[in-house]
Amino acid sequence: MIGLSIRTIMIVMLLAASGCETAVEPRSFPKQTFRHLPLISLDVAEIDIVLLFEPPLKAPHVEHEMPVPPHKAIERWVVDRIRTVGTSGQAVVTVRDASVVEKRLKPLGGIRGTFTKEQSERYDARVEVEISAVGGRGFRSAKAMTTSSRSRTVPENATLRQRQVIWYELTERVMKDFDRTFEAQIRQHLDAFLK
């Protein structure tokens, strides 16, 4: 009898403990789009996106954990901002880098470290993208490239949700830089293709 009541108590305790666990619901974030920005019209018939960067899906890379990975944001940028208006020719957007790497930061240590909420990790985002265009029958060709990078740190007590917000904002910021510099490069180097 005693063995049965101990088992019953253990089962009740396990059920109560498992009931205390709350599943972390994935946080939804607004879709990052670029439709509010002016279109860039190119005198080509088609545009292709080539992804040379393949997320490694392991540490120290974190792109696969982010609400909006940079390579997805770049693809969205191309769809939202570039319009093909030609009858021949092709443009190719090549994503050479779209990485976000986590770097552990060294703690302060000592008394100061004990009473300070420290930054424990830094996330370094980098995008490198190239666009090349060839006109009808190969009479014209042009190329432009840009690189953008941003970094953010997180405090040692950051929750997963707080990290996701930081990652989302990191993608937003690196893409804002990318948008500004890539458009400038396109307007400078692909001017023969602009309509």
Give per-residue pLDDT as tens, 149-182.
999 999 989 999 999 999 999 999 999 999 999 9
With a CB cutoff of 8 Å and minimum separation 6, the contacts of 44 are 84, 86, 88, 89, 90, 91, 133, 134, 135, 193
- pLDDT value of residue 136: 72
| C-alpha–C-alpha distance, residues 12 and 84, integer Å | 65
Q: What would the CATH number be for the domain defined by 39-105+118-193?
A: 3.30.160
Q: H-type helices in the chain, by residue range? A: 2-20, 70-81, 110-114, 160-189
Which residue type sits at 72?
Answer: K
Is 60 exceeded by the pLDDT of residue 14?
no
- pLDDT value of residue 12: 47
Is 60 exceeded by the pLDDT of residue 20?
no
Domain ranges of the chain: 39-105+118-193
Query: What pLDDT, in 10s, does the model give residues 87-103?
Result: 999 999 999 999 999 99
Q: What is the pTM of this model?
A: 0.82
